[in-house]
Amino acid sequence: MPIVPGSAAERKRVSARVDSNLAPTRALRRQTQDKRNLYLVGFKSWLWEEKGVSFKFLFEQKPADPERVSALLIEYGRQLYYAGKAYGIYAETMNAVACSRPLIKHSLTAAWDLAFCWLADEPYDHHPAMLLTVMAAMSVVSLTWGWPHFTAVLLIGWAGVMRIGEVLAASRRELVLPGDRAPGTSFALVMVKMPKTLGRAAKHQAARIDQIDIVNFLSAMYAEAAGDTKIWPYSAATLRKRFSEVRLALKLPIERVGDQKPFALGSLRPGGATWLLHKTENAEVVRRRGRWLSVKTLEIYLQEVQVSTYLERARPAAKVLIEFCSGGFATTLDRRIDFLQCGVMVLTMLSRTAGRAALQAARAPPGLGNMAVRSICTTLPKLGGYDYNLGWPGSRIRNPDPEGYNDVAPPMGFGWWALIVTSVSCFFWGNTYDHSRGIKVAIGLFGQSLGTAADSNGIAVPAPHQAPTCRSECRAMPFMLTPMLTLRASEKNGWPEWPYAKTDMQFCSQELRDDLDVVLEAVRQDGHALVFASAALKARKDVALEAVRQDGHSIVFADVGLRADKDVVLEAVQQDGYALSYASAALRADRVVVIEAVRSTGFALLFAHEKLRADKEVIFEAVQSNWQALGYASPELRNDKDIVKAAVATNRQALAMISDELRRDPAIVEEALQADGHALVYLERTLQADKATVSAAVKQDGHAISYASEEIQRDIDVAMQAVSEDGITLGLLPTEVQANKSVALRAIESNVKAFQNVSEELKSDEDVQEAALASERYALLNSVKVDGYALRTASKRMQADREIVLAAVKQNGKVLVFAPENLRKDREVVLAAVRQNGKALVFAHESLKNDKEVVMEAVAEGGHIALWHASEELQKDKEVLLAMK
C-alpha cells in the first residue's frame, strides 16, 4: 500500500515539496555542484578520446571495478599535473566520480594517494593576512579616487571577517544596519547567503561589524538603498581590477617576493581575524566571528608574525605611503560620511571634470589660486597610476576611471567641486609638505565659494553679508581648518593606536628640519626623510644627492627644479630605475640618463622619450635587465634580431611578443631553447614536429617533450634524450614508448621515480627492477649524506644497506634508530654514530653499551646524557668519567 499524507501538516509539506528533487547525495552549494559537473565532463571526454572508454559503461558494469577507476584517475591526474592544471581540478573530479557511483567512494585510495603526493609537491599557499594599516591605506586611496563601493567591500570583508564571495553575493536586504533594528544598537550584521559550511554548521549565519566609524559609513552608504541593491553593484572583474589599481598606487608588491605572496582580495578575511585576535586575545570569539567549524581551521588563517613584521619588510616607498595614508583613515572616512549624508552619493574627488573646472577658475584670478591648482596637479600623481593632462605642461591629475562618473557633469556648483578637489589635495599635499600652507592656499582660493573672503595672507575670514546656507557648508569649514591626517585614531571607534612613522625627522622641530647637518645625516640613513626637510633644504643639490643615493625614489620629495638636474637624476635612476618617471621631460630624452635607468630597471623604458624607444642600445640594455621591456620598444626594434635574442635568452615568454618570421629564425630558436627548453611551446607546429628542434629543447629540459608533436614524442631517440635529462618525463611519453625497455632503463637510471611510469609488463622485468633498485640506492646514498633523516622514509631493504646506514649516521648519529638490529650491533656503524652525536648510544645494541671505546667516544661528544645509556659498570669507570666533556 502506498504511503499517503494523513494530517493537515503532512499535506502542507507535500505542497511545499512538490517541485523539489530529493537527491541521494550530500548537500552541496550550487556553485560547488556546477564546478564538479564541469570537471566531470572533462574527465568523460578524456576517457573517451584518450582511452576509448565509455564513462557510462565503466560505471554501470556490475560488479564495480574500483581498481580500474583508480588507475584511470591516477593517469588523468598525472596528465593534469604535467599540463600545469590546478590541484583543485583533480580533487573535485574525484569527488564527482565518487558521487556518480557512491559504492566505490571509499575504494579510491590509490587515486587520493596521488592527490596527497601532489599536495606534498605543491602545498597549499594561503593568502597573506592584510594588516590594519594596509587595509586603512587602501580605503583612504579608494575614497580619494571616488570608489565608495570598493571601500565598502574592503571594510565589510576585513571587519566582518568574510569571504570575498560572500560579500559579492550580499545585497542591502542582507545588510542589517543599526537603523534597521531596535534603538541603542551600534553594530551591523551581514547575513551570509549559502554559507560554505551549510549542512555542517548553522543554517543561518551572519558576520558582525563593531567598529562604529565603519558602521556609520555603511549606514550613510546603504541606509536608503533598495532591498535588492547589491553591496558591490559591478562585476567581480571590476573589483579585482580596482584592487590591483589601489595596490599599485601604494607600491605594494604585485608578484611573489620570496616566500611572500602579494595581497589579494582573499587577504581581507585572515587580516580581520588576526587583528581581532590581537584585540580580544580570545580565539573562541575569533572562531565564532569567522564562522569556522574548529580552532584548527582558524589557525590556518591567523598569521600574527606576518602581520607584525610586514611593514618592516616592505619597500621603503610602500612603507611611507602606507603609514602616510593609513594615518588619515579616521578623518577621511568621517568626511566621506559627511558628504554622503548631504546627498552626495557617488563622489569622484579627483575626476577630470573637477580638475578642469578647478583649472578654469584658477586661471581667472591669478596668484594664489593658480599656485594652488598647479600644486594639486603636480603633487597628486605621486600616489601612482594613470595620468591625464589638464592643460598645463607637467600638470596632471590622477584618474583611474572611478566608477564611470568621470564624464558626468557635477550635480552641484563649482564651489563645491573646487572645495572637494582642493580639500583632497590638502589631505595629501598639506601633510607631505607644509600642512598650514596647504590650508591657506585652499581657503584663499575658494573662500568666496564658501561664504568667506581671504585676506592678503590667504587666511579665510567670514564675509559679513553672507552666512553658510546649508548644514553641509557649515560642516565643510572645519574640514578645511582641521588637520587632515591624524596619527592616532579614536579609541571609541574600536581602533588601536596608529603606528608612528619610524623616521625621526618627523618629530623634529622646524629649526632642526632646517639644519643642514641634521638633514644630511637623516637622508643618508633613509632617503625618504627628505619629505620632512624644510623647503630650502629640499632645493639644495647636495641634500638631494645624498637622499637619492640611499633611495632613488626619494627624488619625488626634492624640489621640482632638481628633477631637471642631470647629476641628481643620474644618481636616482642608478639606485632605482623607476625614478626616471619623476625626471624632467628633457632628461627623460637624455640617452645617458635613460640607459642608466633601464640598466637598473628594464621597465623604466616606459618613462623614456619616444625617440629613445627606437634606440637600439637603449632597448638592448633594457631587455637584458627585464625581457618585458621589449613590449615598450618601437615596432622596428621589437623585431630586431639582436634585441630579440637578448630578450629570449632572459625569458622564453619574449617569443610571444615577436613576429612569426622571427619565431622561425634558427638563431633565435637556438638561443631560446638553450636558455629554456619550455620555449618550444611558443614555436610553430612545424618546429614542434622538427626532430632537431625538439632534441635541443629536451636536452635543456626533458619536460619540453610535452609540447612536441605526437609523432616526435614516439621517436625513440628524442625520448631517450628527454628521459636522460629527467627520468620523470617518461610519464609524458606515449604508452608504447613507456613500454620500451631501453627508454625505461635510461629513465630509471636518471630518476628512480620514473619506475612508476613504466608499463605494467616492464615493472616485472628483472633488469628494470634491478635498475630501479640501483637508482634508488644511489639517490638515497646521496640524500643521507645531506640529511641523515632521509633514512627514515627509506624502504626496509635500503635501511638494511650498511653503506647507506654508515653514511647516514655520519651525517646525523640519531638516525641509528632506523637501522635494523644487526647494524646496531655493528661496531663501526655505532662508533660513527656516537662520534657524530653521543646521545645515539641509546640506540646501540646492549653489547656495545658495554664497549669501553664506544662509550668513551659517546661521552666525549654527548657528555653525561650519553653516560646514562652506558652499562652500569662503565658508568663507574674512571677513564670513562675523565673522557666526559
Helix axes of 666-675 and 691-700: crossing angle, nearest 10 degrees: 30
pLDDT of residue 184: 67
pLDDT of residue 296: 63
Asked if residue 271 lies in contact with residue 130, where contact means CB atoms within 8 angstroms, the answer is yes
Average pLDDT estimate for 774-790 = 84
Question: Which residue in 794, 742, 807, 753 sits closest to 775, CA to CA?
Answer: 753
Q: What is the residue-averaged pLDDT of the chain?
A: 74
Helix (H) or strand (E) holding 12: helix 8-17
492's grid cell: 571609541
Asked if residue 313 lies in contact with residue 124, where contact means CB atoms within 8 angstroms, the answer is no
Distance of CA 823 to the CA centre of its chain: 50
**Rounded (10°) CA dihedral 785, 789, 790, 792:** 140
Helix ranges restricted to H, 514-565: 516-525, 535-538, 541-550
Distance of CA 136 to the CA centre of its chain: 18
Contacts of 656 (CB under 8 A, 6+ apart): 682
Percentage of the chain exceeding pLDDT 70: 75
CA pair distance 719, 698, nearest whole angstrom? 9
Helix, strand or coil, per DSSP, at residue 361 = helix
Asked if residue 385 lies in contact with residue 330, where contact means CB atoms within 8 angstroms, the answer is no
What tens digit of pLDDT does each residue of 218-243 get? 988 898 888 888 999 988 889 999 99
Instruction: Tell me how crowded residue 776 is: count the other CB atoms within 10 A of its CB.
Output: 18
The residue ranges of every structural domain in the chain are 30-121, 132-325, 329-453, 782-883
CA pair distance 545, 565, nearest whole angstrom? 10
Q: How confident is the model at residue 24 (pLDDT cuts 50, 70, 90)?
A: low
Asked if residue 272 lies in contact with residue 127, where contact means CB atoms within 8 angstroms, the answer is no
Task: Return the CATH architecture of domain 132-325.
Answer: Orthogonal Bundle (1.10)
Whether the CA torsion 876, 878, 881, 883 is positive or negative: it is negative
What tens digit of pLDDT does each residue of 322-374 get? 888 888 788 888 878 877 776 555 444 443 334 434 334 333 333 333 333 33
What tens digit of pLDDT does each residue of 365-411 get? 333 333 333 333 333 333 333 333 322 223 333 333 333 333 333 33
Q: Which residue has the cell 640617452?
A: 591
Asked if residue 418 lies in contact with residue 358, where contact means CB atoms within 8 angstroms, the answer is yes
- pTM equals 0.41
What tens digit of pLDDT does each residue of 640-691 get? 878 887 887 777 777 777 777 777 777 878 877 877 887 787 787 888 888 8
CA pair distance 266, 63, nearest whole angstrom? 45
Please state, in angstroms and as integers, the Cα–Cα distance from residue 325 to each residue in 42, 319, 429, following that order.
48, 10, 12
